[in-house]
Structure 1
Amino acid sequence: MVADLYTVSFAAMGSRCEVRIAAPDGDAARHIAMHAIDEVRRIEQKYSRYRDDSVVSRINAAAGKHAVACDEETAALLAYADRLHATSDGRFDITSGVLRKAWDFRNAVLPQTSALRDLLPLVGWDKVLHNGASVFLPLPGMELDFGGFGKEYAVDRAAEVLAVMGVRHGYVNLGGDMRFLGPRPDGAAWDIGIQDPRDISATVASIPISRGALATSGDYERFIEVDGRRYCHVLDPRSGMPVSYWRSVSVLAPLAITAGSCTTTAMLLEEDGRDFLDRSGLSYLAIDHDGRIFRRTP
């Protein structure tokens, strides 16, 4: 007997999210899904910069004052951030979130040059002191922001919760970052569309996926347009200005945190992003500023 598919929708991390799994009935699906949803909300509560009681907020509040002790999970995420910084030539920098104070993506107004000039000295992962047991931001006003991989980490943790509970068919989707636990109940792959970055009602490709993860970064997620030019939310930590080479980058990887980190790194590396993607060995689909499509398949 082939089990039915059930979708449990919820909101988290500022995104529309869903758990879609095969289960005997709707009640069973909701019971199983809630364990995964609880894990997503645990991570959001622990690492959201919007919560005063989060680990990230405590670290940021102590900037220029004292080090903050890290538990094993936080230390592992900081070590991952360190690797991302190294492999991206310093472009993937979790201290660059402070630049959001200069950018307002709700209104089509560019930041004052002085605002960026004042914030740029606060950016620099190489300034941060961390040793696996504690982390210290040496300059008052410095901040950490796990937004570059926090949602993808939550996707993976939620998927792992479902796997432990015996789920073999389904996926977790947090705002478009997806982790697949297995094919549809009948064995068919999931058919996932890649959005056209210039037409929200259209797709540019369809990707069959049974297991693994898919993530996409693009200049259409949050942006403003000023004098006909698009400024997206992915900011170069060296200048504080948005990147502009890629319209969209999608990556398939075993883990969502890997897929998401690769898409963001490729966006940040701009014209060098394609070489980075090729070296990764992962499958990808990337659309450049002229609309040209580049892809690598297994």
Structure 2
Amino acid sequence: MIKAYNLTRQADYWIGEFAVMASTCQILLDDVDAEQADNLVALAYAEAKRIELKYSRFRDDNIIARLNHAKGRAVQLDDETVLLINLADLCFQLSDGLFDISSGVLGKLWHFKQQTQLPSNAEINALLPSIGWQQAQWQVPLLTLPAGMQVDLGGIGKEYAVDKVAQLLQHEMQSQQINSAFLVNFGGDIYANKLRRDGAAWQVAIEDPKHLGESKLIVSLAQGGLASSGDSQRFIDVGGQRYSHILNPQTGYPIAGGPAQVTVYAQNCVQAGMLATVALLQGEFAEDFLKAQDCRYWL
């Protein structure tokens, strides 16, 4: 049977790799044997895949599909989905409406793949009435979307998966009496549980968005979450102007004037990702927002 993940020995730790949520995912395990490493990576892959299947907007058999095809009818959500919708609602409030899980429909016009022409004002204006989380009726556990509105949890799903996998690994290690440091890395969204066995922190390279493939700085991560948000790999150049894939749901156009990349450290990956994304949505006021949150960040 072919496994969905690879497990190799790298220097003094194990590394498991697999692809989920359109990202290269890694599990680094510091002080375990080969059998333990294989079991832990298998658990991590299964949990990440479960979350992807449950919340992918590209499927027609999950809760997101039910919501997006409800045509104005209320949909009752399970506890896990309630948690994610509450998180999305918090992001909406914290960002003054700039983080909006109903803005995914703009992807019909902005696909950032070999796009040589901007959408017209008329095309954008036709979609804007279907955007606006404030139009949804959220009465836990019932969510009612106006007919024509769709939601996409991609903006928080990967960070949520990182934290869920980390919780699962921690629980499994405790039950097996394994005392090991680990790091979960899903496409640059990261969580580490503790210092390594030699007392050293994990060394995380943050890529220079202006020189892809080159590390701009190294962050020592002992415990907590680290997440980056930026436009270094998803943008278009039309008429000599660069347009970021970070879209303003209130105008339908890309955010302008902000940093190329924001990286934030927080207690967990969800919190780090939320702060990084909301900061980037502030455009030229990104650093002002981060200073107000009293968090560690890199621009």
Check if 1:253 corresponds to 2:260: no
Pick the aligned partner of 1:132 from 114, 134, 140.
Answer: 140
SS at match of 1:221: coil
Give the structure 1 partner of residue 162 of structure 2: 155
Pick the aligned partner of 1:236 from 227, 248, 252.
Answer: 248
Asked whether the equivalents of residues 4 and 24 of structure 1 are also in contact (C-alpha less than 8 Å), the reply is no
Check if 1:219 corresponds to 2:192: no
Check if 1:285 corresponds to 2:293: no
Deviation at 1:254? 0.8
Asked whether the equivalents of residues 31 and 197 of structure 2 are also in contact (C-alpha less than 8 Å), the reply is no
Matches within 5 A, 1:176-187: 176-187=188-199
Query: Where does structure 2 lack aligned partners over 5 or more consecutive residues?
Result: 1-10, 174-178
Pick the aligned partner of 1:10 from 2, 7, 18.
Answer: 18
- The CA distance in 2 between the partners of 1:45 and 1:159, in whole Å, is 19
Give the structure 1 partner of residue 81 of structure 2: 74
Asked whether the equivalents of residues 32 and 180 of structure 2 are also in contact (C-alpha less than 8 Å), the reply is no
- The CA distance in 2 between the partners of 1:205 and 1:243, in whole Å, is 26
Once the two structures are superposed, what CA deviation does each residue of 1:105-134 show, in whole Å capped at 9, x if it has no partner? 111322222221111111100000111111
- The CA distance in 2 between the partners of 1:221 and 1:164, in whole Å, is 35
Report the more deviating stretch, 163-172 or 97-106.
163-172
Give the structure 1 partner of residue 6 of structure 2: none
Deviation at 1:203? 2.1
Give the structure 2 partner of residue 289 of structure 1: none
- The CA distance in 1 between the partners of 2:209 and 2:12, in whole Å, is 33
Once the two structures are superposed, what CA deviation does each residue of 1:262-291 show, in whole Å capped at 9, x if it has no partner? 1110111112221211121210001xxxxx
Asked whether the equivalents of residues 22 and 29 of structure 1 are also in contact (C-alpha less than 8 Å), the reply is no
* Matched AA of 2:259: W
SS at match of 1:171: strand
Report the more deviating stretch, 147-156 or 160-169.
160-169
Check if 1:210 corresponds to 2:222: yes
Once the two structures are superposed, what CA deviation does each residue of 1:194-234 show, in whole Å capped at 9, x if it has no partner? 11111012222211111001100011131111122211211
Once the two structures are superposed, what CA deviation does each residue of 1:45-103 show, in whole Å capped at 9, x if it has no partner? 11110111121111001133x11110111111111111111111111111111111111
- The total of aligned residue pairs comes to 282
SS at match of 1:201: coil
Once the two structures are superposed, what CA deviation does each residue of 1:221-258 show, in whole Å capped at 9, x if it has no partner? 31111122211211001111111222000000011111
Pick the aligned partner of 1:59 from 56, 67, 70.
Answer: 67
- The CA distance in 1 between the partners of 2:87 and 2:280, in whole Å, is 18
Asked whether the equivalents of residues 20 and 170 of structure 1 are also in contact (C-alpha less than 8 Å), the reply is yes
Give the structure 2 partner of residue 84 of structure 1: 91
SS at match of 2:214: strand
Once the two structures are superposed, what CA deviation does each residue of 1:31-58 show, in whole Å capped at 9, x if it has no partner? 1111122111111111110111121111
Deviation at 1:23? 4.0
* Matched AA of 1:285: W
- The CA distance in 1 between the partners of 2:251 and 2:267, in whole Å, is 33
- The CA distance in 2 between the partners of 1:201 and 1:84, in whole Å, is 31
> Runs of at least 4 residues of structure 1 off by over 4 A?
none
Q: TM-score, normalised by structure 2?
A: 0.91
Query: Where does structure 1 lack aligned partners over 5 or more consecutive residues?
Result: 287-298
Give the structure 2 partner of residue 197 of structure 1: 209
How big is the alpha-carbon RMSD for the aligned residues of Structure 1 and Structure 2?
1.4
